[in-house]
Amino acid sequence: MRLAPSDVVVGGGGVIGAAAAWALARAGVAVTIVERRGLGQEASGSNVGLVTLFSGHSFDEPDPGPVYELTRMSADAYVALGDEVGVDIEYERCGGVVVAETPEKLAVIRRAYEGYRRHGIPVEWLDADGVRACEPAFHHPAVLGGAFCPLNGHVNPLALTRALALGATRRGARMLLGTEVQEIRTAGDRISAVVTSAGEIACGAVVNAAGAWARAVGAMTGLALPVEPQRGQIVLTEAAPRFIRRVVSGSEPSARQTRRGNVIIGSTVERVGFDTSVDADTMARFARGVLARYPALHGLRVIRSWAGLRPATPDHRPIIEMAAEPRGLCLAVGHSRRGICYAAGTGQLVMELVTGRAPSLPLDSFGSARFARAAGAA
């Protein structure tokens, strides 16, 4: 069966596919999202929802560069997105503190803090008492200090994914849920169509936004993408009156309290293939760890646990580029631990790549050639 043609087909209805569709639709491009399950049913609906401008990624990039800029673009877009589509995505720039429990870690945070300060990004240095004053709900005797960034925050990731998709459909995007991308066709060296479980869609471009399954979708065009699933387990408590105000990172497990009052506790990073089971040992470890850090959690009931699959690359940075071949294939994959932080910015870059505009950010750090360069250097 043939379906109506589309300029662009986006394979995957997670936060990255939804953000790409939103940006493309806003630019006047006819776009179709093809998602084999439902919107945000995989990693994008299973994560913690942190949007951090200063955190672990800053240690690798202490002079803020493309990774910081990609986060900044996304976070700024989230401020406007809720109003534009009329959906409360629960985005709060509540500020967050990155803590150290060893002198080595403290030195790494200090280096990033100094780099950020040099570039005029607001970060404050805290000693152990300062951390305590910054987030009174959190306490651990091993904490030596850390840095506070008022730009860090959190969002409801499923609401974010839905808001992006809703924004896209309001601008004319078509959404095919419960529909699988099965084959990508080419004519000569160009993309010509996508074969889905609902029929064939003639198109000029495809965006691979298939998350942990990006490698399988890449293989449909002969690409071997370095993306693998990494499992993260999470526990959710019942709702309680708000007692955690800030986002605390660097002390595991982490806990964030949602707008409704539920506490999300997580998460692991495990290489176990596509297994999304949750195990009792991890739950027990989470319980011990979080009670030692957030005493007010004592007595709260656990109501759910789950696991999601991060689409991980070897350096945990995404791949955002037009593939060398076939022409018309755009990659928006491998967002690893920070797909919520990077989504709207990724969508913008995808739109610019697909429509041939100048990209808002230098794309070298997000090109797949970096893996060959790293292998050559090694």
- Binding residues (CB under 6 A) for ligand FAD: these are 11-17, 34-37, 41-44, 46-50, 180-181, 209-213, 217, 232, 234, 266-267, 308-311, 335-341
Choice between 26 and 335, CB closer to ligand FAD: 335
Query: CA neighbours within 13 Å on the CB side: how many for 346?
Result: 33
Q: Residue 233 Cβ, how far from ligand FAD at the closest point, in Å? A: 7
SS3 assignment, position 228: strand
Rg (CA), the chain: 21
Choice between 126 and 307, CB closer to ligand FAD: 307
Q: Residue 50 Cβ, how far from ligand FAD at the closest point, in Å? A: 3
Contact residues for 327 (Cβ-Cβ < 8 A; gap 6+): 189, 190, 191
- Amino acid at position 61, single letter: E
Give the 3-state secondary structure of 182-203: EEEEEECCEEEEEEECCEEEEE
SS3 assignment, position 256: strand
Q: Residue 377 Cβ, how far from ligand FAD at the closest point, in Å? A: 26
Q: Residue 56 Cβ, how far from ligand FAD at the closest point, in Å? A: 11
254-257 and 263-266: which strand pairing? antiparallel
CA torsion 340→345→350→353, rounded to 10°?
-160
Choice between 64 and 211, CB closer to ligand FAD: 211
Dist CA 220 CA 9 (whole Å)? 14
Choice between 130 and 367, CB closer to ligand FAD: 367
Contact 335, 315 (CB under 8 A): no
Choice between 8 and 210, CB closer to ligand FAD: 210
Choice between 17 and 326, CB closer to ligand FAD: 17
Share of the chain residues as helix, strand and coil, in percent rounded to the nearest 5: 35, 30, 35
Choice between 174 and 310, CB closer to ligand FAD: 310
Q: Residue 141 Cβ, how far from ligand FAD at the closest point, in Å? A: 26
Cα 212 → chain centroid: 12
